[in-house]
Amino acid sequence: MATPTPVRRAWRALLGLLVITAVLFGINALGVYVFKDSAGEPASSWVPELALDLQGGTQIILEAQVADGASPTGEQLNQAVTIIRQRIDATGVGEADVTTEGGRNIVVQIPGEADEETRARIQASAQLQLRAVLFVSGEVSGSFIGEDGTATPYPTPDPTLESTPSASPSNGSDVSWITPALQAQFQAYNCADPANDPANAPADQPLITCDATGTAKYILGPVELNGEAISDASAGLVQTTNQWAVNIVFNGEGTETFSSISSRLYPLSTPLNQFAFILDGDVLSAPSMNGIITDGKPQITGQFTQETAQTLADQLKYGALPLSFTVQSSDTISATLGSQQLMIGLLTGLIGLVLVAIYSLSVYRALGTVIVASILVMGILTYISLCILAWRMGFRLSLAGVAGVIVSIGFTADSFIVYFERIRDELRDGKSITSAVEDGWARAKRTIYISKSINILAAVVLYILADATVKGFAFTLGLTTVIDVLIFILFTHPVMQLLARTRFFGSGHPLSGLDPTALGAVYRGRAQFRAPVGTVAKGKGARSRGEAERRQTIAERKRAAELSGTTSTTADHNGAVDAKGGRD
């Protein structure tokens, strides 16, 4: 099979770039016209999503609740900030800002309008607790935790509450916790009454509470595990039943404790064999034991959908807050920078692009159009990539991200300069334009790859170590750098291969930017030179020799010096002999 010619390789590269562009636009079109989000709106858009500083959003202020009115520690608040940020990230919301304020509050700012699910995840900010069920009434949507990880819904009997006073309950499932006073309190308890706030109930005492819907009312035993015992939780399908389930993984201590609890609950009847997960005082789920689980990996199933299973998994995984919080305020805020700052950022980018174009056209003449075209193609790919990332990853473009795109224009121009100067160096060595393009690319691409690798490394380090306000800059810088390399391989070099074979560029037209004579291409080959610069005839047809003088090789300078200084050197030599011989 014959080796593809440079022209064929160029057309193949350009075709590959066209296919990549079409695929990206096709992917985003699916998000715009086919896929829908939970609200029934298009999942994607032809406009990148904007971050909080450019479009405004929702601000929720959470106030820490500490026993006896004490102040929370900085470590507790920082831990809470981390967990709340993880909860928000799990919803797919990007560029959220979670900070502390005043030593007691946490301020959550989310771009756009927060939906009810996101609000619920943020506001459900108390510690996650696990308690045994002593009594339950009402409609219960529960599930079994089985020995093999499977589970099925179960009916709830109509229970009869009886007090069983005892001075010393033996364990968390002992009905002796239900005293006459607790029985009366339970009967009077109203799930809809906002005055009933079980979030700060003592951990070593029984708890009266309801599920999040208010349809089931519980009496629970003391806390036996908390959220710190859960190392991971995820949603997935059960292969045997094709139902959605929540998979839990306990840490070492949690595995041992849960094994003991499952051994105690398994022989009991409903509802004493149930174990409740409580977040912010509400029962998230109260499955019953269907076996003794010793590996620390139980599974909860029931009437789950994909969304409800994922929500419960996120609540279990990110529920171990060190503090309880109340919502102090929840407001919609205006953009901190807004559309005016966005327009300023876009105008700045346009000015930078114009300056690059002016420089390119003035230095490289018609060759500068390749630089401008390459930057425009890079801009198109960057734009559609941001639209797709907003859909698939929740990325939102902040002002820092706009700055990253603007900076990348300068980095891209640097790479073009490296490539084009390599080509011109090859022309100065007397090579043809087609050979200069191929050899210049071979010499320039290694330098470009190394430079881009350093840029990507810097962007990755910055993204990992910097705070949220700088991550947008690092992300767009890294993204545009990757696209820049792709453009060089699939557009810039192939275009140069094709242009080198046109009459205008291939003949070295003075306006092409590839004129060998203007570049000082005086070297012809081994031991072959054109007339040295100093002896170039003046008059019609003579070219400017300034560039050529600057580009002379050492051999050419020596040759020029020999030709121009032979007569004066001989005269000096004869004069010296005459003086030595005494002749005048």
Edge-first strand order for the sheet with 57-65 is: 97-101, 105-111, 57-65, 324-333
Distance CA 217, CA 211 (A): 7
CA pair distance 362, 287, nearest whole angstrom: 74
Q: Which CATH superfamily is domain 7-33+338-506 in?
A: Multidrug efflux transporter AcrB transmembrane domain (1.20.1640.10)
Question: Domain boundaries in the chain?
Answer: 7-33+338-506, 52-119+329-333, 121-319, 523-568
What pLDDT shows up at residue 60? 86
Angle at 185 between CA 179 and CA 188, to 5 degrees: 145
H helix and E strand count, the chain = 16, 16
Regions in the chain scoring below 50 on pLDDT = 1, 141-142, 144-157, 523-545, 567-584
**Whole-angstrom distance, CA of residue 407 vs CA of residue 411:** 7
Which pLDDT does position 17 carry in this prediction? 96
Q: pLDDT at position 26, please?
A: 96
The answer to whether the CB of 451 falls within 8 A of the CB of 417 is no
- How far apart are alpha carbons 48 and 337 in whole angstroms? 17
Would you tell me how many other CB atoms lie within 10 Å of the CB of residue 16? 15
* Six-digit token string for 242: 């094709």
Q: What is the pLDDT of residues 361-370, one digit of tens each?
A: 998 889 999 9
The per-residue pLDDT for 209 is 92
- One-letter amino acid of 535: T
Alpha carbons 324 and 584: distance in angstroms, whole number: 112
Element (H, E) at 343: helix 338-364
For the record, the structure tokens of 325 come out as 């919080």
DSSP string, 483-512: HHHHHIIIIIHHHHHHHTTSHHHHTT-TTT
The DSSP annotation for 210-239 comes to EBTTSSEEEEEEEEEEEGGGEEEEEEEE-T
Report CA-CA distances (Å) from 504 to 110, 115, 359, 500: 55, 60, 21, 8
Can you tell me the distance from the alpha carbon of 476 to that of 385, in angstroms, rounded to the nearest whole number? 10
Separation CA 426–CA 521 (nearest Å): 9
Quote the CA–CA distance of 368 and 499 in Å, as a whole number: 12
The alpha carbon torsion through 446, 452, 457, 462 (nearest 10 deg) reads 160
Residue 129 contacts residue 223 (beta carbons within 8 Å): yes
Domains 7-33+338-506 and 52-119+329-333 fall in the same CATH topology: no
DSSP H helical ranges for 116-245: 116-123, 180-188
φ and ψ of 418, to 5 deg = -60, -45
**Closest CA relative to residue 132, chosen from 316, 264, 297, 296:** 264
Strand (E) or helix (H) holding 275:
strand 275-279
Span 193-230, pLDDT tens digits: 877 767 667 888 999 999 878 888 999 999 999 888 88
Task: Give Cα 160 distance to the centre of its chain.
Answer: 54
For residue 392 the two structure tokens come to: 């698939």
Task: Give CA–CA dist 216/283, Å, rounded.
Answer: 9
Minimal CA–CA distance to 333: which of 35, 133, 108? 108
Planar angle of CA 276, 278, 283, nearest 5 degrees: 70
Domain 121-319 fold is Gyrase A; domain 2 (3.30.1360)
User: How far apart, in whole angstroms, are the C-alpha atoms of residue 209 and residue 203?
Assistant: 13
Beta bridge partners of 276: 131
List Cα–Cα distances, 277 to 115, 194, 248, 283, 570, in angstroms: 24, 21, 12, 6, 105
What's the pTM value of the predicted model, to 2 decimals? 0.59
Looking at residue 323, what DSSP letter applies? Answer: S
The Cα 473–Cα 462 span in angstroms is 9
What HEC string does 288-304 produce?
EEECCCCCCCCEEECCC
**What pLDDT is recorded for position 34?**
92
In contact, 530 and 467? CB cutoff 8 Å: no
In whole angstroms, give the CA distance from residue 27 to residue 390.
12
- Return the CATH architecture of domain 52-119+329-333: 2-Layer Sandwich (3.30)
CA 286 vs. chain centroid, Å, equals: 36
